[in-house]
């Protein structure tokens, strides 16, 4: 891979992917709708070409993808727009990849797995999504597999990290950094996975660089599971935060959702805070090597430092 296109480069995982590709001396085209944010994120980064455009404008995306080897699909729309936008977006990316002879690396989540009774979910685990968003993600996966474009589909759990602002953990981190009373969605005693975006990007770029990893699914788990209580302990040690955390229940989300469409959509995925889907990284470690595993303390410290520097 000599040149890569990252669509959704202004998001959390997109930002991490651009930086990881640059670290590996790969030329990157960073594509997103808003030029101002791309400039803020990457104007000091070498080997990055900033391209602002509309993913649904064929001319924009065709121009951005000329001569690239891999298109990293890191776009995630607001929940309330998933049904309307995700499939057409992927169809456009597939069309352009076929035209340009490029491969696709899809940033995916765990929604398509649905509720699982097994502890460590592997790539072979049957996907039985029971939510609207899970069914959309499975449709995206099948559409990509039915195309003629070589692809890697990488499943990540909930994310956190520099610039990862559209995540369930971000609101907690933001208020902690600002010294405000913070919220935590779900039972704070239930252990869940939160993946540091830098680790996710390292694993995904490694997969995209190899020829024998395409036309497969890959799970990239977090360092280990962790409870909200344990996270708050780390945050308190790192920042001196002492205001405590307010637990957000499903009922509270349903009430807020009456007035806020985005929060209404979060309710559907609340089951993941009670019955988490925990990914197995056995396939990656057997076929690729050790997974990147930044400790929660180190990852949170780097994230908080980034937020403080950016005034988040």
Q: Domains along the chain? A: 3-160+194-222+277-293 (3.40.50.720)
pLDDT (average), residues 76-83: 91
Q: Is the predicted pLDDT of residue 87 greater than 70, yes or no?
A: yes
Average pLDDT over residues 198-221: 98
Could you tell me which of 274, 74, 69 has the C-alpha nearest to residue 156? Answer: 74
Beta bridge partners of 218: 154
Is a pLDDT exceeding 90 seen at residue 264? no
CA separation, residue 261 to residues 80, 82, 84, 240 (Å) = 7, 13, 15, 34
60-to-35, 70, 105, 157, 166 alpha-carbon distances in Å:
13, 17, 19, 31, 25
What pLDDT is stored for residue 312 in this prediction?
67
Alpha carbon of 71 to those of 17, 36, 208, 311: distances in Å? Answer: 11, 22, 10, 31
pLDDT, tens digit (0-9, with 9 covering 90-100), for 11-38: 999 999 999 999 999 999 999 999 999 9
Mean pLDDT of 99-105: 97
Q: What mean pLDDT, rounded, does the chain reach? A: 94
Pairwise pLDDT comparison (148 vs 264), residue with the higher score: 148
pLDDT at 196 over 90: yes
- Average pLDDT of span 242-253: 88
Length in residues, the chain: 312
Task: Give dist(CA 210, CA 230) in Å, integer.
Answer: 37
For 37-46, the pLDDT digits (tens) are 999 999 888 9
How many Å apart are CA 129 and CA 82, to the nearest integer? Answer: 15
Residue 261 has pLDDT above 80, yes or no: no
Q: How do residues 160-183 score in pLDDT, each as one tens digit? A: 999 999 999 998 999 999 999 999
């Amino acid at each position: 891979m000599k040149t890569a296109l990252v669509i959704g480069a202004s998001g959390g995982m997109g930002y991490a992917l651009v930086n990881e590709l640059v670290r590996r001396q790969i030329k990157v085209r960073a594509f997103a709708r808003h030029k101002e944010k791309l400039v803020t994120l990457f104007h000091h980064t070498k080997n990055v070409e900033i391209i602002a455009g509309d993913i649904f404008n064929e001319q924009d995306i065709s121009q951005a993808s000329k001569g690239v080897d891999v298109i990293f699909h890191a776009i995630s729309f607001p929940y309330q727009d998933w049904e309307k936008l995700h499939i057409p977006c992927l169809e456009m990316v597939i069309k352009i990849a076929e035209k340009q002879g490029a491969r696709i690396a899809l940033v995916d989540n765990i929604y398509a797995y649905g509720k699982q009774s097994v502890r460590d979910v592997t790539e072979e685990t049957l996907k039985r999504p029971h939510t609207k968003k899970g069914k959309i993600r499975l449709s995206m996966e099948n559409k990509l597999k039915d195309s003629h474009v070589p692809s890697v589909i990488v499943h990540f759990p909930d994310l956190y990290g520099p610039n990862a602002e559209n995540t369930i953990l971000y609101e907690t981190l933001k208020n902690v950094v600002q010294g405000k009373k913070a919220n935590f969605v779900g039972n704070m005693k239930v252990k869940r996975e939160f993946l540091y975006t830098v680790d996710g990007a390292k694993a995904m770029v490694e997969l995209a660089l190899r020829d024998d990893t395409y036309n497969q699914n890959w799970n990239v788990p977090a360092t280990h599971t962790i409870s909200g209580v344990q996270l708050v302990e780390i945050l308190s040690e790192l920042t001196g935060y002492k205001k405590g955390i307010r637990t957000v229940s499903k009922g509270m989300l349903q009430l807020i959702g009456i007035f806020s469409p985005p929060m209404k959509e979060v309710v559907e995925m609340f089951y993941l805070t009670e019955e988490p889907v925990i990914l197995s990284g056995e396939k990656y470690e057997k076929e690729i090597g050790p997974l990147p595993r930044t400790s929660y303390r180190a990852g949170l410290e780097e994230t908080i430092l980034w937020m403080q520097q950016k005034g988040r």
